[in-house]
Structure 1
């Protein structure tokens, strides 16, 4: 009887290690299977049978029961859910989850979990796995809003989807306005003021020391400058001479009477120059200089050295109306003075601007725009659509980009505008939260769906049903529906697949030990058989 026990133990060992070899073989066979999770076998002994007595002998202590084991059996086959390495495929519908959770697929109204993300779109736009099972998620409404919940649906993309046009309401313009774009009109005397010996006069030269003074000036003599101002009007500015007055005193007196906004006289290389206080074209001119009193002065005539140039910067922006038609908006910026620019908006095709098409932009001493720098205007698109309001921003929206006025080249351009024409779907991709994003040919993107991510309380309690799928059981707990964004440490990557987590080195090592264990159990049976033969031969 005892020899039969040893033979049965050997048989149970061979059966158990055959199962282990089956598991090892399956692991190795799936070394390249996407999302495959390797399995391992654990053993436990069978029942033990008592042999001999257990009791007390005389004054001896109680004896423990003498038991002999009856072999081994498979205790469990468990999955290793450690994440496999990612493999790049560059297919936008191939996906992998980094972290917790499983993709959810449906077949025959039953939800399954899988880590194999080799998906594709079928002819109906449904996202399916390689066996045609429907990937589960939450489809977006027509505005691109997704509302995740507990009830999932088949992820479906309408590849004939059209993105409706959106009217432009905000335009962002920024860059640098060249502060040196506009120039002022400059006039200069036709000859230099000189002193005895022909030396060039300086600002501190006494007026009576000038060669141009043919009869000395006396206290109380008045020198009058007859001017044409920037706006074309005439003005007379007088300077009353006092003994010792210099050329600079004369210049300062005339400037004070004329006003800086009109212009300013100065002495440059002995020549009297007049610079307009207005940028661009100007009527400023010195018509005549006369002296009332005893003195006589021959002032050289003035000539125009440089005509004023008005600096302009033109910006073109595309504006969309509610029907998707484009309108070309031109904004012309004209420098009126340092730090002050006038703007005028118009449409190339003559669309009517109903309000606020003109105004000014102001810059501080640091070249930074003053205030928010916003322009609000309304126009009639003339397409049957409603009147349209535009908000045009030149200021800082919090991103550090704004309009400046430095003495550098102009770099003004449209940074952004929020309108677009109708668009057709040209591509889709999946982001880290599992959102299926549609890319339209008008440059717009919109959420089309979001993939569901399922999980259970005890993943080791999941039942394997083949094809890389798992099913929830009582041991695993109910399936919890979530998204990658709401599941801790989970991110979905597109263009990659999660590879098998089979460790070949470990599998080969386990194979060797399983083989040796199998051989050893076979040897037990053989030895027990030889012992039985010896027992049978005793009667001979």
Structure 2
């Protein structure tokens, strides 16, 4: 009854291709299922039956005559390749790029999934659509996360406020204009000229000036009296014509005056005497008189006017600093240029909080415009309202952060770039970064790490058992399960606001469907043909 074998072979084909159609149908049905991994069916031949020896000895081309008994399903394999990443915009929708699985606990066991459509439940637990808890590592009170150990349910307390932090450091950066404060300048009302009416030069002899009515004789003196910078007194400088080292020219007279003055500087510019105060800023510096004091000579010296008022300008920077109760206090720092490369500062608070230490001080710069001294200073103040005395450090520039505090001849750009204190904050939003860190965003502008998702990997993905709902269980065939954070696993990252789509290829599935249909039909034809042949064999008796 060899026809029975062909019937059984046809039946095995029907069963096997029915299984393949079941698999194809399941793949197509899940073409839009988040994180779905498609499957495929592979076949293998059933055992063969030997129907007799070859009868030809060792020289025969075939040593046995075998007929197959049909086909069977060898395996149903799952394709774990990456699905398409689809943007959703929802913060708790997560997709894994690369290897790894989200770890889920259903209350009794840890499971694995690529479907990251999570949400927070009423208790602040991050769960999947079936209410299973997403696993990871929760942060401590300081926001520190220690991964790699035993995982726990990720939970966020949405009602918990972020405690305030006292200001410990204030950072300043930018440029202080080296020309912020200016000196007072006093200039002659007219220029000296020589006998030809030309502008006199520094080498012109005083007796050759058109302003000299009677020549000076050796030993005659000329006195310049100035009003000091603070306006409380006068200072006199004397030039002796033709005697000692004083000389006889205009330039030599200016040099002689300079050697006798301590609060001003005399120069000759385009034939005019010009005097600069010895100090920056607002000044009473002026020329009280310039005349021939002794001798027979006579010179018509011009009068003098203040052509540039001295100004002491300041650069003010402000920020809010916080005490240990989180109350803000408006700090103002006034930097005033008091000399070349030297600035004084004064600290004060807008609401008048008393400063115990560090209210005033000095900052100096070197010739390259870099801070030379006073780059760091402390301020202690009494915040009041039940808070303890607060102390913080003011740092001018920070090379480790790439910021600098300079004094160049340019625009004033110095400002407070950072202070590390803040007031109490309420949680207003959640962000999840590429390493799976769940970060709380607070209404005081601060961010804090709250938790970090765990990812798992197995040695053999084909050893994962599907348990429904996009969840896999690691069987013994999967090998060891490695659980850690995304930043500790090679080539794995997490995309927030995205989901991994199904990896089903519809074109491939429909092609497989056509071949399966034809194979199924062919197996049915084998059965119907074998049946007809059996009928003919039975009819031989008639």
TM-score (ref. length: structure 1): 0.95
Q: Could you say which residue in structure 2 is the equivalent of 1:519?
A: 521
Q: Could you say which residue in structure 1 is the equivalent of 2:5?
A: 5
Query: Post-superposition shift, 1:111?
Result: 1.1
Q: Does 1:462 align with 2:464?
A: yes
Report the Cα distance in structure 2 between the residues aligned to 1:164 and 1:149, rounded to whole angstroms: 28
Report the Cα distance in structure 1 between the residues aligned to 2:294 and 2:429, rounded to whole angstroms: 87
Query: Post-superposition shift, 1:240?
Result: 2.4
In 2, are the aligned partners of 1:104 and 1:111 still within 8 Å (CA)? yes
1:70-219 equivalences in 2 (<5 Å): 70-196=69-195, 198-219=197-218
Q: Does 1:39 align with 2:42?
A: no
Report the Cα distance in structure 1 between the residues aligned to 2:143 and 2:306, rounded to whole angstroms: 66
1:362-373 equivalences in 2 (<5 Å): 362-370=364-372, 373=375
Report the Cα distance in structure 1 between the residues aligned to 2:235 and 2:432, rounded to whole angstroms: 75
Tell me, what secondary structure is at the counterpart of 2:486?
coil
Query: Post-superposition shift, 1:391?
Result: 1.1
> Which of the residues 250, 253, 272 maps onto 2:253?
250
Report the Cα distance in structure 2 between the residues aligned to 1:127 and 1:104, rounded to whole angstroms: 12
Report the Cα distance in structure 2 between the residues aligned to 1:328 and 1:86, rounded to whole angstroms: 48
Query: Post-superposition shift, 1:186?
Result: 1.4
Query: Post-superposition shift, 1:455?
Result: 1.7
Report the Cα distance in structure 2 between the residues aligned to 1:228 and 1:190, rounded to whole angstroms: 18
Q: Could you say which residue in structure 2 is the equivalent of 1:16?
A: 16
In 1, are the aligned partners of 2:336 and 2:344 still within 8 Å (CA)? yes
Tell me, what secondary structure is at the counterpart of 1:370?
strand
Q: List gaps (5 residues or longer) in structure 2.
A: none
CA deviations 1:237-275 (Å, max 9, x no partner) are 22222287221111122113324xx22212334332211
Query: Post-superposition shift, 1:61?
Result: 6.5
Cα RMSD after superposing both structures: 2.0
In 1, are the aligned partners of 2:148 and 2:485 still within 8 Å (CA)? no
1:123-522 equivalences in 2 (<5 Å): 123-196=122-195, 198-231=197-230, 232-242=232-242, 245-259=248-262, 262-289=263-290, 290-370=292-372, 373-522=375-524
Tell me, what secondary structure is at the counterpart of 1:322?
coil
Report the Cα distance in structure 2 between the residues aligned to 1:510 and 1:56, rounded to whole angstroms: 43
CA deviations 1:472-512 (Å, max 9, x no partner) are 11111243321111111110110000000011111111111
Aligned length: 537
Tell me, what secondary structure is at the counterpart of 2:145?
coil
CA deviations 1:24-48 (Å, max 9, x no partner) are 1111111111100000111111111
CA deviations 1:35-76 (Å, max 9, x no partner) are 00000111111111111236776x867962322111110010
TM-score (ref. length: structure 2): 0.94
In 2, are the aligned partners of 1:371 and 1:395 still within 8 Å (CA)? no
Report the Cα distance in structure 1 between the residues aligned to 2:482 and 2:527, rounded to whole angstroms: 50
Report the Cα distance in structure 2 between the residues aligned to 1:492 and 1:371, rounded to whole angstroms: 48
Q: List gaps (5 residues or longer) in structure 1.
A: none
Query: Post-superposition shift, 1:428?
Result: 0.7
CA deviations 1:272-297 (Å, max 9, x no partner) are 22111311112322223343334233
